[in-house]
A and B are shown apart, each in its own frame.
Chain A
């Protein structure tokens, strides 16, 4: 078939441990998007809180029905009190969103900054003062090519043979158990060195801030948003039922319907947050492979492999929950990747599904809140200019100022969308690039076209799952007709993803598979094009979910 690559070159290059780092680390970009998605969800859920409190039944999208303000003539000719009342109507949702975001970031940042002190206190750690031990650690750190200060800590547990890195910002810490420092260092220095190199590899791979900041943000949706929204949901439901019972009496049907709506919302929020929690653990687990590979590029992988193989049998007893909630992949998988690093570049359908799901959440949040936020800010500014400067300056100058502001607003919104697209493109295309990397190093690579079809299929499923889970206008037990749009959205996104993946595959082919040096650079124009194309596909999905249901049922 035309898409099957000939295996002309039997002596393909062997992928070395260092070669792995010629390519970007798989989870680098998804971590950023994951953080934004967490914030999006928190804001989406958080926006329900005021509506529950006031029992207005409004959704986050209730910002849009305030359309009277968009009537230019009305704004221009309205009396001051009406103008300011309308301005306040706009400002209220913006203020709630901004305050909620500040609250999230404030608390997350505080948790993140205090985490190292928390770890030190919880584990009763003490700084290592033994000169010989510090020297040994410094030597290993130099071997890892790290020059910055790392604080070395240990505990008082002679049977603790583990190590861990943690920190916040530039303050980096290493915790090495007493058993590791005293016993393993003496009995098996190679293993001791390999373990510490693995830890320093986490620092080199910039895992610390990503992991600990994401963990801090993740605590907010779980601890604050979920708890608050559950309490408020229960409160609002009870209040609504009681007031109806007092006023008119309540039928079983109405009661059932109300409970169903709340259960639906609660179910979506819980599943979504659980899913994000699992995705976070999955991202951390995948960083372990890269830390192993980086460590292996500094010192023979043999010592880590011996340990991992030994551990493998023991892990077989671990149950499913331990595996999906754990911070580490199975020792068997780690050992396998150390034996054959090309396996790290095996295109993963599960990964692309999760990446697209997270990207959809991120983009929905960015579109609904980012764009609506910009729109509201610029509308208020523009209409304030229109209203407040009326009669004060020359009419032509006045209108020119207002139009300039509108054009500036449109450019800002477009740039914002491009930025989202550029952020998503790296994550999205990495699985496609994995096909090329595998082709470069593997003697029997799979045909790329079926791979691209599968990747596109799972991407589309990721978008649909995002739609079903996001507590916006997606899945609603009372409006199952919303689901009728799913096949249309699937057709649109799948076609879009196949075309885009094919384009990227052929564009990157000669750059990645060239036999001399990987050229991973992508021209800005192409990045903007691909970013814009991704934005268009995601935007089409978001709008199509609404459009096709309305089209069919109206």
Chain B
């Protein structure tokens, strides 16, 4: 289920920060989950650093981390609910829908929000995207949660 949620949420973020990547989003997402990588050290080769110029895999890495955290820490309370409901609740963080369906969305505590924020910063450090893309992704993710803060 994590894969589906990650894919859907990432697509929402990409729509906002790098819409031109939607063209090959599904292919990139498939490849990301298959863990396909470049052979960066091939004999007489030249490999670009991890994700090249692309925001999608970086967003997916971040979203995947956040989803895992939310699934283990935040959704604990509602784990008896149906999967689809949980999925909807998680998605609601990233969609405008959440403002309209306040009742069904999850809300985060300040502490949880700080944890997510630290998680995003750590992952971004590891990924080492260029500054502008990093900032755009960070802003987009953080703002989703801040808007939903309880």
Q: Which residues of A contact B (CB under 8 A)?
A: 123, 157-166, 175, 177, 179-180, 182-184, 187-188, 191, 195, 198-199, 202, 207-208, 211-212, 215, 284, 287, 291, 307, 310-311, 313-314, 326-328
Show 22 residue pairs from A and B whose CB-CB distance is below 8 angstroms, ordered by the A residue: A157-B37, A157-B38, A158-B30, A159-B32, A159-B37, A159-B38, A159-B51, A159-B54, A161-B52, A162-B39, A164-B39, A177-B38, A179-B54, A183-B54, A184-B48, A184-B53, A195-B46, A199-B45, A284-B43, A291-B44, A307-B48, A314-B50
Q: Do A310 and B54 contact each other (CB < 8 Å), given the known contacts A159-B28, A160-B38, A165-B44? A: no
- What total of chain B residues lie within 8 Å of the partner, measured CB to CB? 29
**7 extra interface residue pairs, beta carbon distance < 8 Å, beyond A123-B39, A208-B44, A287-B44:** A161-B38, A163-B47, A199-B46, A212-B43, A311-B49, A326-B41, A327-B43
Task: Find out whether the CB atom of A162 lies under 8 angstroms from the CB atom of B43.
Answer: no
Task: Find out whether the CB atom of B37 lies under 8 angstroms from the CB atom of A183.
Answer: no
Q: How far is the CB of A415 from chain B (nearest CB, A)?
A: 35
B97 at the binding interface (Cβ < 8 Å): no
Residues of B within 8 A of A212 (CB): 43
B110 at the binding interface (Cβ < 8 Å): no
Q: How far is the CB of A130 from chain B (nearest CB, A)?
A: 15
A212 to B43, CA, bound (A): 9
A123 to B49, CA, bound (A): 20
A279 to B42, CA, bound (A): 17
B11-42 with Cβ < 8 A to chain A: 20, 24, 27-28, 30-32, 36-42
Residues of B within 8 A of A177 (CB): 38
A480 to B58, CA, bound (A): 60
Q: Do A327 and B41 contact each other (CB < 8 Å), given the known contacts A158-B28, A182-B24? A: yes
Residues of B within 8 A of A314 (CB): 49-50, 128
- 0/1 interface trace, chain B 37-80, chain A, CB 8 Å (1 if under): 11111111111111111100100000000000000000000000
Task: Find out whether the CB atom of B43 lies under 8 angstroms from the CB atom of A313.
Answer: no
Partner of A195, one of B27, B31, B36, B48: B48
B139 at the binding interface (Cβ < 8 Å): no
Q: How far is the CB of B126 from chain A (nearest CB, A)?
A: 9
Task: Find out whether the CB atom of B38 lies under 8 angstroms from the CB atom of A327.
Answer: no
B74-97 with Cβ < 8 A to chain A: none
Residues of A within 8 A of B45 (CB): 162-165, 175, 199, 327
Residues of B within 8 A of A166 (CB): 43-44
In the complex, residue of chain A having the shortest beta-carbon distance to the beta carbon of B48: A161
Q: How far is the CB of A284 from chain B (nearest CB, A)?
A: 6
Partner of B46, one of A123, A198, A211, A215: A198
Task: Find out whether the CB atom of B31 lies under 8 angstroms from the CB atom of A159.
Answer: yes
A188 to B53, CA, bound (A): 8
Residues of A within 8 A of B32 (CB): 159
Q: How far is the CB of B92 from chain A (nearest CB, A)?
A: 29
Q: How far is the CB of A114 from chain B (nearest CB, A)?
A: 16
In the complex, residue of chain A having the shortest beta-carbon distance to the beta carbon of B21: A183
B102 at the binding interface (Cβ < 8 Å): no
A164 to B68, CA, bound (A): 37
Task: Find out whether the CB atom of A162 lies under 8 angstroms from the CB atom of B28.
Answer: no
Residues of B within 8 A of A188 (CB): 53
A165 to B46, CA, bound (A): 9
Residues of B within 8 A of A161 (CB): 38, 47-48, 51-52
Give the residue among B38, B48, B54 with the most A Cβ atoms within 10 A.
B48
Residues of B within 8 A of A182 (CB): 24
Residues of B within 8 A of A310 (CB): 49, 128, 130
In the complex, residue of chain A having the shortest beta-carbon distance to the beta carbon of B36: A157
Residues of A within 8 A of B41 (CB): 326-328
Task: Find out whether the CB atom of A164 lies under 8 angstroms from the CB atom of B53.
Answer: no
Residues of A within 8 A of B24 (CB): 158, 182-183
Residues of A within 8 A of B44 (CB): 164-166, 199, 202, 207-208, 211, 284, 287, 291, 327
Task: Find out whether the CB atom of B42 lies under 8 angstroms from the CB atom of A179.
Answer: no
Q: Do A179 and B52 contact each other (CB < 8 Å), given the known contacts A160-B36, A162-B38, A164-B43? A: yes
Q: How far is the CB of B123 from chain A (nearest CB, A)?
A: 14
A212 to B52, CA, bound (A): 28
Q: How far is the CB of A53 from chain B (nearest CB, A)?
A: 36
Give the residue among B27, B30, B43, B130 with the most A Cβ atoms within 10 A.
B43
Task: Find out whether the CB atom of A191 lies under 8 angstroms from the CB atom of B43.
Answer: no
Residues of A within 8 A of B39 (CB): 123, 160, 162, 164
